[in-house]
Chains A and B, each alone.
Chain A
Amino acid sequence: MQQNVVEVENLKHTYDNKKYVLEGISFEVKKGEVFGLLGRNGAGKTTTIKILTTLILPTSGKVNILGYDVRKDGLKIRSRIGLVQQLPSIEFTTVEKNLDIYGMLWGLNKKTRKEKIEELLEIFDLKNLRKKDAIDLSGGERRRLQIAREFMHDMDILFLDEPTVGLDVIMRRNLLNYIKKMVNKGLTIVFTTHMLEEAEYLCDRIAVIDKGKIVAIDTLDNLKIKYGGKRAVEFKIKNINLNDIKEKLNINHDNIKIVNDRLIILTENPYDTVEMVIDKIKQSNGKIEWLNIRDKTLEDVFLNVIGEENGIS
């Protein structure tokens, strides 16, 4: 059985002793897992990351990282974790020097620093910018530097707080692939985002957090089964009037509609529905030009879980 490297139990936090930004969340993360905290802005994701990285102390609850208590063993925890924070963070010097200073702060020797710098400049496409002052970089370039810097040192867990904000599509995909590579080498990732496709691409398990509470937590597949709702089956049919076939199908009006030249059916059992519709079309001498069963997405899960509470449908 894989060991838990993050254990959070009934974690509560308030900044002002009045309003709780975290209202008793609990979860654990296993070694080598990519765990996503998904939620809207202000849901409590960053506060959770700050507590897990020992930047702030929790108001109450139990938080263990790598077996250490965040209240007592901050230094031990910090020596084995990395953090890419949400806010930009740079030093007022060149790109290369930024990486070098970071390596020096982590206690790496000069030779190791030099090798790491070359490797990271290549991976994060910063080679041409190595002599440029960090302050003169674009937002995306700074972000790349900030993420690259964190890989200067070895760690057991990397906390990424919305790391891809400001990155272009190519760089975002490169980063996610690099993270996957590091996970294959044994790194554990705790990742916050509000970009659903990223979470879908990267995370083994996801916790959906809203207003300081975890409202759903599971693997992506299980979340889709539990909260994905109905799946949409789309048909493009010729030689037949779509309204006629709609009448012949014994389906609740809320779950069937005609959009442009397509018949769309919302169903819990897409394969049974497809068989039934094909039979009806054959009986009416129609011909199917095209059909599509749309997969449940994390967006469906997110909207179903978060939407209900917030009046979004």
Chain B
Amino acid sequence: MAYPKVVRLILRNLIVNSDPGTWLILVGMPTMFLVFFSYGYGSMLSSLGLSYVNYAKFLAPGMLAYETLIAGTASGSMLWFDRRWGSLAQILAMPFTRTDYLLGLILSSVVFAIMGNAILLVISYLLIPGLDFTTIGVIIMILTLIIGSLLFGSLMLILASYIKSQNAYNSIQILIIFFINFASTVFYPAISLPRPLLYLFYVNPLTYIANVMRDGFLNKVKIIDLYEMIFLASLSLLLIYIARKSYMRSEIKFE
């Protein structure tokens, strides 16, 4: 019996896009941040007499959150490649709806996020001594990474639907990745920030993803995490809706 349509599209996306370059970006980059920043800033904090601060433990869940952003960008890139290399029109001439195709892209991002996060979790476990995960913490982390990749996957699809030039898309995507990443609590806590920066941090969904991920990672799950997850899930649904609208409009324009 054949797999359901969306599963077939996800399988296709994973086979076509699982090249070494994709995995270098998905796992290699966060691993580099984790290794170099943990040791670099860890030794700096030590030299300042703050050796009780374990920066690696702070950064590792931040990298898991960052992974959801990177995996999310895959959906936009996949749409771009499919459009550029004729696969989009070819798939749309098959018995798939446009929504099937869109869901295939977004859910492929989720699968990339799950796979990338699993590898990062193992690396973190090997790198940071004394980590002890709880069931509730792992469940929270899994839910957060799914919501996060849905959210960023949809965001990147909206972007890919509107921007006509591939160079412009790539540049804007890189800019967004850096901006969202640095204006969040992925690398540092949002304490003692100047007020405008603080606002910026708290309108950025990656801040909430990093906070919830960190609480799950460090077994400090609180009720606020649940509210933050509900907020993120609602935002994801809204973005999926907008992505579908934008994609439908852009399809007619681009075809």
Contacts and interface: CB of A to CB of B under 8 A. Distances in A.
Interface of A: 50, 53-57, 74-75, 78-79, 81, 83, 85, 87-93, 97, 101, 104-109
A92 B19 contact: yes
A78 B95 CA distance: 5
Given A50-B255, A109-B2, A91 B87 contact: yes
A88 B89 CA distance: 11
Contact of A83 (B9, B81, B93): B93
Nearest to A49: B93
A79 B2 CA distance: 14
Contacts of B12: 91, 101, 104-105
Contacts of B17: 92
Interface of B: 2-3, 8-9, 11-12, 15-17, 19, 81, 85-87, 89-97, 252, 255
Q: Which of B15, B17, B91 has the most CB of A within 10 A?
A: B15
Nearest to A93: B16
Contact of B93 (A55, A57, A88, A91): A55
Contacts of A107: 2-3, 8
B89 A101 contact: no
Contacts of B86: 85, 87-90
Task: Report whether over half of chain A's contact residues are helix, strand or loop; otherwise say mixed.
Answer: loop
Contact of B15 (A56, A74, A85, A93): A93
B85 A88 contact: yes
Contacts of A88: 85-86
A97 B86 CA distance: 17
B95 A55 contact: no
Chain B CB within 10 Å, residue with most, of A97, A101, A105: A105
28 contacts: A55-B92, A55-B255, A56-B255, A74-B97, A75-B95, A78-B93, A78-B94, A78-B95, A78-B96, A79-B95, A85-B90, A88-B85, A89-B85, A89-B86, A89-B90, A90-B86, A91-B12, A91-B87, A92-B17, A93-B15, A97-B15, A101-B16, A104-B8, A105-B9, A105-B12, A106-B94, A107-B2, A109-B2
Contacts of A79: 95
B93 A81 contact: yes
Nearest to A53: B93
A83 B90 contact: yes
Nearest to A57: B252
B89 A89 contact: yes
A79 B96 CA distance: 8
Contact of A108 (B2, B15, B87): B2
Contacts of B92: 55
A102 B84 CA distance: 18
A107 B12 CA distance: 12
Contacts of A78: 93-96
Contacts of A87: 86, 89
Contacts of B87: 89-91
Contact of A90 (B9, B85, B93): B85
Nearest to A82: B93
4 shortest interchain CB distances as A-B pairs: A89-B86, A107-B2, A79-B95, A83-B93
